Amino acid sequence: MRNAVFLDRDGVLNRADVRDGRPYPPASLDELEILPGVKRACEALRASGFFLVVVTNQPDIARGKQSTQAVDDINEYLKRELQLDAVRVCAHDDADRCNCRKPAPGLLLDSARDFDIDMRHSFLVGDRWRDIEAGRQAGVRTILIDYQYSEKRVEPDQIVQNLAQAADWILTQTVAEVSS
C-alpha cells in the first residue's frame, strides 16, 4: 500500500478569489495562479514517496456557472505543472446528496481503493471545514491552511499558513513514525 497526501485545489494549490469571507475558484485557466511554494512542497512530498491526489469540490458545474471543460483545463494544467498523480472532482451541489462532495469522504475513499492507499499513513491538506471533515471521516490526518474564512470550523490535526508549512509538518510526522 502507498501513503498519500490528498490536496484540496482552490486555496491550497492555487489562489482562490475571496469575497465576503468565502473562497471562489478561478473561472478559467487564464485566472489560475499557483500559490508561492506549492511546486517545491509537492516536489518534497513526492520525493518522500507520497502519492499526490487532488480532491476538489466544483459545484459551479452543477450550478451552471462553470463548464466541465474549464475545470478540466485547470486540473490538467495543475497535474502537469505540479506532477500530481491524480485529480478527483465532485461536480455536484449539496442538493445532489452524493457521497463524493466534501464533507462526505467519497473522493478520498474511492481514491484509496483505486490507488491502494493506506489511509492510516496518509494526510489531507485543505482550506475549508468541508476538507477537514472529509479527511476525518476517511481516517487520514488533517491539516488546515487557515485563511480565517467566515464559515463553520472543524478542528484539524494541524493548522498552517500555506502548503509549504503543511509539507514540512507531514514530513516531520513521517520521520517521527519511522524513528519510533
Return the active site residues.
8, 10
Query: Residue 95 phi/psi, 5° resolution?
Result: -60, -20
User: What's phi and psi for 148, nearest 5 deg?
Assistant: 60, 45
Count Cα atoms within 13 angstroms, Cβ side, for 79.
Answer: 15
Cα 24 from Cα 18, distance rounded (Å): 6
Residue 34 to residue 13: CA distance in whole angstroms: 6
Q: In a 10 Å sphere around its CB, with 0-12 CB exposed, 13-18 middle and 19+ buried, how is residue 86 labelled?
A: middle
Question: What whole-number distance in Å separates Cα of residue 168 and Cα of residue 74?
Answer: 26
Element (H, E) at 87: strand 86-90
